[in-house]
A and B are shown apart, each in its own frame.
Chain A
Amino acid sequence: MSAAAEPTPTRGPARPPALLGLPLGVGFLMPALVMVALFLLVPFAWIVAVSFTNQSLLGGQAQFVGFANYARMFDAASWLPGGMGYSLIVTGVFVLGSLAGQVGLGLLLALLFFRRRGPWREVVFTLVTLCWILPDVPIAFGWLSFLDRDFGLLNGILSALHLGRPDWTLDHPLTAIILFNIWRGTAFSMLLFSAALEGIPPSYLEVASVSGARFTQQLRDIILPSIQAQVLSALVLITIWTFNTFGPFLITGGGPLNKTDIVAIHTYRVAFKFGDWGLGTSIAMVVMLLNLLLTAAYLLASRRGARDARA
């Protein structure tokens, strides 16, 4: 009975015998395939189609315009505040700032509680994880009041320390949303790194200590190389998430003066505030291609990591 499904031994490791025949297998897959087609493939095809037209929310019959939307996306005016080019620069700063903060702080917290148990670890890990899992809207309201120039907690603390009362959402909006995003996402790196640290065989560090290696030397020669794969994963995943996040919209709305016009907000503004679906969908296409590149980089790197691990 199982003979027909037996794989030929030459094609890699033996597969377990199939439990289902092909028709039944496809049958079980159908609901998922229909969902994927309905909510992913069809809208995607629609977006590709719309990006070559001048369709708008409040417009007449749409016309085919070729690559005009793509050309318009990067014309000279797009590098002025409010344009796509400007938005990509803002997003670059936002991603780099968030990345440095989240990975740095996550690593610091993981090292701080490395091989330590007890209430402090529980309290800190719980709080940091809460920042990560609480819903966006209440968090945004919290941050708005935290950042408020006149009544905010942050400025309360700063002015008590005689550091002035900066107008965060007006004069330093990009810094404000980077801080917000670091606060929001550090938990991921922290949890990932602290799990990875647990995997380092204790004997490595003990031997190093006995031989007189200082902590910085241990960090450089043992700890970091051991969690290299996780650091890489964190870098790529956080980049993708930060690149696509819409959360800061609730704090700055992309302004003032488009200083926080990150690509997700920019796409939303073009497609829904200005109702320009043609341009909006073509921006979405470019953003998707950039995401694909990032994902490809991630897959390539993780495959190489797996190969190194096997070697």
Chain B
Amino acid sequence: MRHVALLAALALSTAASAETVTLTFTGLNTLAQQWFTQTVIPATNKALAAQGKTIAVTFQNTSNDAEATKQQYALDLKAGRGADILSFDGFWVPEFVQAGLIKPLDVVVGKNATAWDGWKQIPSGLQGILGYQGKLYGVGSGTDVRGLYYRTDLFKKAGLPVPWNPTSWNDVLSAARKLKTLAGVTPLQINAGTAMGEATTMQGYDMLLLGTGIQMYDDAQQKWVVKSPGILDTLNFYKTVYVDDKLGDVRWQLIPTGRDLSFKAFADGNLAMVTEGDYLWRSVLNPKDPSGLKNRDDVVGFARMPAQAPGEGIRKQNFVTISGGTGYLINPNSKHPQEAWALLSTMSGKPALDAYQKLEARLRIRKDVAIPGDKTMQYMATTLLPITVTRPMLPAYTKVSEQAQLMTERVVSGQMTPQQAMDAYATAVTQIVGAGNVTEGK
């Protein structure tokens, strides 16, 4: 009898206390997990209190190799499994949609998601970071821009001006030649090769190609550009840097750990210039991060990437940059899509993002979230966001991008001349997208 009473009491107490839903979340770094524990989870629980629910979050780490993460997501989703919320790169969306692996928010979550008041704060162009063909698959968190970082201490040593404002490729190359006189210093890192994956396409190849006035995909003609003087100029720049003048370390382009080695060399003052995204500044070199660069603000400068010559960049720009976007989407296989949405909308709200900006200032897509106190990030936001371009949102993009990486690898390794590499690229891309979808550019 006493046992029955005890059981009844237990049953009552569990009914009265909140039901806890455990959500799995991928791809959050240490800082973001700290933010979750301190800010996001308590705020979500407050929002869910009325429904008598609380959430707990299990963090699932992903590889720091983006290709491996993408592959893991594809396999998870194809098996009908995976974490409840996935951190996702915008350019993966078309492929995943085409494969039927992800579903729009209005299907997975429904009214709660479409009626969210946060959408009003996100410019319509940026709402589509995790979108495809007019449908939204998740909430974008931020965007990024790319530019040229340089070590001010090495520049001074080499007798170069600080601050430095290059206006052409020649400015960059002549600075590199001066820096080459410093012992033990690699003058320039501009990503090439297949080992770095998309980091080669965006931080390397695109930053040059845009400076010649074209993009990989011609929007007006709706065709992939497979042969053009712009591609040749880009490849010749690589050849100058890695083969002819040895202004960069070709080893970093070919071995699997090359990108990390280049970051380390830059942080240690053994690399003078590197083209990278704001990720390098706010994350890799973040002084607040234990593995960051303590005196970052004293020794690192940022310059916009110049076009080949003034006015010769895409849309006749003097400077060029390209943006990607990342965000979070709810797994269509999630058993708790409503709770997942509560978490996602809370973390994408102004109070939560404002709290995060204090830990790591990022380029946010919400109009009401500012970048506090970081002049370099503010400079990137004001000067580069207005002139940026994005990657073609097409399912074939990934495969074409891999061919572009291979093309740069063939040139920097000396396997092929720029002309041979471009011809091989043209053949391969034509095979991927079909002869009707390619063009030879101006």
Contacts and interface: CB of A to CB of B under 8 A. Distances in A.
A275 interface: yes
B74 A257 contact: no
Contact of B255 (A59, A77, A169, A275): A169
B98 A60 contact: yes
Given A170-B255, A255-B195, A272-B71, A57 B98 contact: no
Given A57-B74, A57-B78, A60-B100, A255 B95 contact: no
A257 B95 contact: no
A256 interface: yes
Contacts of A274: 399, 402
Given A255-B194, A255-B254, 7 more contacts: A57-B74, A58-B74, A169-B255, A170-B255, A255-B195, A257-B254, A274-B402
B99 A60 contact: yes
Contacts of A256: 193, 195, 254-255, 413
Contacts of B78: 57
B409 interface: yes
8 contacts: A57-B74, A57-B75, A58-B74, A60-B99, A170-B251, A170-B255, A253-B256, A257-B415
Contacts of B402: 274
Interface in A263-288: 272-275
Contacts of A198: none
B96 interface: yes
B67 interface: yes
A167 interface: yes
B154 interface: no
With a 10 A CB-CB cut-off, give which of A59, A167, A170, A257 has the most chain B CB atoms.
A257
Nearest to B415: A257
B438 interface: no
B101 interface: yes
Interface of A: 57-60, 77, 81-82, 167, 169-170, 252-253, 255-257, 272-275
A256 B193 CA distance: 9
A275 B432 CA distance: 14
With a 10 A CB-CB cut-off, give which of B75, B99, B402 has the most chain A CB atoms.
B99
Nearest to B95: A58
Given A57-B71, A57-B74, A58-B74, A255 B98 contact: no
A274 to B, nearest CB: 8
A257 B96 contact: no
Nearest to A257: B413
A287 B75 CA distance: 24
B125 to A, nearest CB: 26
A255 B71 contact: no
A58 B93 CA distance: 11
B67 A58 contact: no
Contacts of B74: 57-58, 275
A59 B399 CA distance: 12
A169 B74 CA distance: 31
Given A57-B71, A272-B71, A273-B67, A255 B255 contact: yes
Interface of B is mostly: helix
A57 B398 CA distance: 13
Contact of B98 (A59, A77, A81, A272): A59
Interface in B231-259: 251, 254-256
Which 10 pairs of residues, A with B, have the shortest CB-CB distance?
A256-B254, A58-B99, A58-B95, A253-B256, A57-B74, A170-B251, A257-B413, A58-B74, A256-B255, A170-B255
A254 to B, nearest CB: 9
A272 B73 CA distance: 12
A167 B98 contact: no
A231 B98 CA distance: 54
A77 B95 CA distance: 26
Contact of B101 (A58, A252, A257): A58
Interface string B84-128: 000000000001101111000000000000000000000000000
B409 A257 contact: yes
Contacts of A167: 251
Contacts of B195: 253, 255-256
Nearest to A256: B254
Contacts of A273: 67, 71
Contacts of B427: 77
Contacts of A57: 71, 74-75, 78, 99
A77 B431 CA distance: 12
Nearest to A253: B256
Contacts of B71: 57, 272-273, 275
A273 B399 CA distance: 11
A199 to B, nearest CB: 46
Nearest to A60: B98
A87 to B, nearest CB: 15
A253 B95 CA distance: 25
Nearest to B68: A273
Contacts of B193: 256
A57 B77 CA distance: 10
With a 10 A CB-CB cut-off, give which of B254, B427, B428 has the most chain A CB atoms.
B254
A17 to B, nearest CB: 50
A275 B71 CA distance: 8
A252 B255 CA distance: 8
Contacts of A170: 251, 254-255
Contacts of B101: 58
Nearest to B428: A77
Nearest to B197: A273
B408 to A, nearest CB: 12
A59 B254 contact: no
Given A170-B255, A275-B74, A58 B413 contact: no
B99 to A, nearest CB: 4
B251 A58 contact: no
A58 B254 contact: no
A59 B99 CA distance: 5
A67 B71 CA distance: 27
B255 A58 contact: no
